[in-house]
Chain A
């Protein structure tokens, strides 16, 4: 049966739409957009006061399946995605076995179809076993729809190997996605090198360890012509490198996480909070301010979460032994609405670019537009919902968020994937 979403503010910069109107869904697609649509034969849902946008995409998510199902699996991770307002995620390949061949990609796609609550676009490893020395079977994975290749987690250390990856990838319509980390400089670094590493007596993870690899990979993108996407950018100077690459006309994009924008190294107190141990580390307040400016001025293309679930016991231990990463799927939209839109840093149109339009474009996926014929992948936002981030409020198996206790305004109330509700009134639809 057709579904009429009535009276919401529809925002889609792709079609120049920002007005209150009705939206009719039929057979998984947007059938009509307009005022006073005839609802005959359709189920009508009153969306007054809500905002409907093209379905949000998180292009940096660790679903942990196969291999680490105690942390998260495709069922729980995609529920967390739906709960957070997302219609699609790009999963990272550091699974066990590593997502470096068609078999593992096929497994993820099959599981996502069986138990998933959003679309899952697996990324593939650039190198076999993420070891950085042998090319993965990119062509096999490409044939299954993989459009992003990454050695997320530590990056490709050898410059020659990175060049080989980018050269080889140039034959496919894909993007090479780079985790920028020079292990020679980073070593066993735990926190940003500087004030916090000195205060807490731990090895530093210097900004330069990230910036050097950003510079290297931009140079290799120039050399090979292969599109490059920089993951979780965290430093002001790293962002300047991307800014310059874009001005030069290179095919370079980048992403930022809410935690690198809204948390800084100053939050890492003497209680050694392992929830704030992330890679790259939380940087300085100046870096965070530069990232927010980059989101506003267009240098940053996408907001992602780097959703990295871990079990409670893995994080409840010595800081230096705890794994890197925090969850993010269920807090990202609320954080962005509260701290960027609510404070006037960006408007809803820009949010849609950052969280829906650009991720699809970077990942070479069909665009979703609020217009007739487009897939009905939609996120309905309640912009006035006030809520508090709580450890027991997540659909994710994990609660290692750095934002527990934060008071936010705005969240997803409903989500539709191909016209089917995955979230209704804030609850995942089973």
Chain B
């Protein structure tokens, strides 16, 4: 199957075939990750810059692990060491990095549209590792992978996404990706946490009543309440949020017997998810999502840089 993308910036540019190719590739990389020596020479000689202009723990570490296991050379750039702090513009910073003859930039930034801007000025491949409230495509890919593995496919799946939709870059990629794969998607949130036009994301339904929707759902995707990204206070208290929208043990009886629980992390235990549900041995696939993060990021790096099959099979 042909993979023609240079960038992974906007998940809506990816067809169902593209997404399946990434998942299938990730599955092959899973085999690598199960070995004692978890490393292949696939991207040997490629230089990747991890440009994280705002804090990130799991996305950044999982990209680093993916790059190391593919034998790429990587440079971690950003945080308080960025030249942006000294007043350099984004464009100048990127041009400087490009002078090092790099092959790919992984970028996290608090401003929407930065990955596209970098792609336009740099000419190298770009992976969006989260831009403002816009998109986070590798998060969507790892979510798809974990759901695919748990459910065996996407046909007839009804996914409910609960929480801070309006401020969520995770949703910006996840909802369109789920729609591309043929899922039914319901957004569940207080009106103050919904985007202006949920339909633009592709959502089929919007609800403010989790108890009415839970019995329909095959996958319950709980979003983190992003306290750091909430202008003003869109709900009166965490305990009221937990009561109205939290996935609590008391709500389990409303769920389908085989419904699973996702969360992009980090979890606010006792707010959107209580510990019983977060750690539920049958339902929670939250740690599978984390593992899938390495697999899909290896797959994306491999496919975007046109890595050889030889490398993969080595």
Residues of A within 8 A of B (CB): 187-188, 193-195, 197-204, 206, 270-272, 313, 316-321
Contact = CB atoms under 8 A, between A and B. Distances in A.
Interface in B86-110: 89-91, 109
B134 interface: yes
Contact of B116 (A188, A198, A203, A271): A271
Contact of A316 (B89, B113, B133, B231): B89
Contacts of B120: 271
B114 interface: yes
Contact of B197 (A198, A317, A318): A198
B175 to A, nearest CB: 11
A202 to B, nearest CB: 5
A202 B197 contact: no
B133 A201 contact: yes
B113 A200 contact: yes
Contact of B117 (A206, A313, A318): A318
B246 interface: no
B211 to A, nearest CB: 26
Nearest to A204: B196
Contacts of A318: 90, 109, 111, 113-114, 117
A173 to B, nearest CB: 43
> Which one of A193, A201, A272, A321 has the highest number of Cβ atoms from chain B below 10 Å of its Cβ?
A201
Contact of A199 (B89, B116, B200): B200
Contact of B200 (A198, A270, A319): A198
A243 to B, nearest CB: 26
B112 interface: yes
Contact of A320 (B112, B198, B201): B112
Interface string B187-203: 00000000111101100
Nearest to B91: A316
A201 B120 CA distance: 19
A200 B89 contact: no
B98 to A, nearest CB: 15
B218 interface: no
B137 interface: no
A202 B231 contact: no
Contact of B231 (A188, A194, A200): A188
Interface residues of B, number: 26
A272 B231 contact: no
Contacts of A316: 89, 91
25 contacts: A194-B196, A194-B197, A195-B200, A197-B195, A197-B196, A197-B197, A198-B195, A198-B197, A200-B134, A201-B133, A201-B134, A202-B112, A202-B113, A203-B133, A270-B10, A271-B116, A272-B116, A316-B89, A317-B90, A318-B90, A318-B111, A318-B113, A318-B117, A319-B111, A321-B111
B182 interface: no
A206 B172 CA distance: 20
A100 B257 CA distance: 70
Q: Which 7 A-B pairs have CB atoms at the shortest separation, nearest pair first?
A: A201-B134, A272-B113, A318-B111, A201-B133, A198-B200, A198-B197, A198-B195
Given A201-B169, A317-B89, A187 B116 contact: no
Contact of A319 (B113, B135, B169): B113
Contacts of A199: 200
Contacts of B169: 201
Contacts of A195: 196-197, 200
Nearest to B195: A198
A201 B197 contact: no
Contacts of B116: 270-272
Interface string B1-45: 000000000100000000000000000000000000000000000
B131 interface: yes
A193 B111 CA distance: 17
> Which one of B134, B135, B169 has the highest number of Cβ atoms from chain A below 10 Å of its Cβ?
B134
A194 B195 CA distance: 8
A318 B84 CA distance: 12
B132 interface: yes
Nearest to B201: A198
Given A317-B89, A318-B113, A202 B201 contact: no
Contacts of B133: 201-203
Contacts of A320: 111-113, 132
> What is the interface of chain A mostly: helix, strand, loop, or mixed?
loop
B78 to A, nearest CB: 15
Contacts of A187: 231
Contacts of A200: 112-113, 134
A316 B132 CA distance: 18
Contacts of A204: 196
A270 B113 CA distance: 7
A132 B198 CA distance: 36
Nearest to B111: A318
Contacts of B201: 198
A316 B118 CA distance: 11
Contacts of B197: 194-195, 197-198
Contacts of B132: 201-202, 320
Interface in B153-188: 169, 172
Contacts of A197: 195-197
Nearest to A190: B112
Nearest to A319: B113
B164 to A, nearest CB: 13
A195 to B, nearest CB: 5
Contact of B131 (A201, A203, A317, A321): A201
Interface string B225-248: 000000100000000000000000
B115 to A, nearest CB: 10
Contacts of B113: 200, 202, 270-272, 318-320
A291 to B, nearest CB: 21
> Which one of B120, B172, B200 has the highest number of Cβ atoms from chain A below 10 Å of its Cβ?
B200
A316 B133 CA distance: 20
Contact of A193 (B90, B131, B196): B196
A203 B120 CA distance: 23
A313 B88 CA distance: 11
Given A195-B200, A199-B200, A319 B112 contact: yes
Given A272-B117, A317-B89, A201 B231 contact: no
Nearest to B9: A270
Interface in B117-132: 117, 120, 131-132
B85 to A, nearest CB: 14
Contacts of A201: 112, 131-135, 169, 172
A201 B197 CA distance: 11
A313 B91 CA distance: 9
Given A197-B195, A201-B132, A320-B132, A313 B89 contact: yes
Interface in B132-148: 132-135
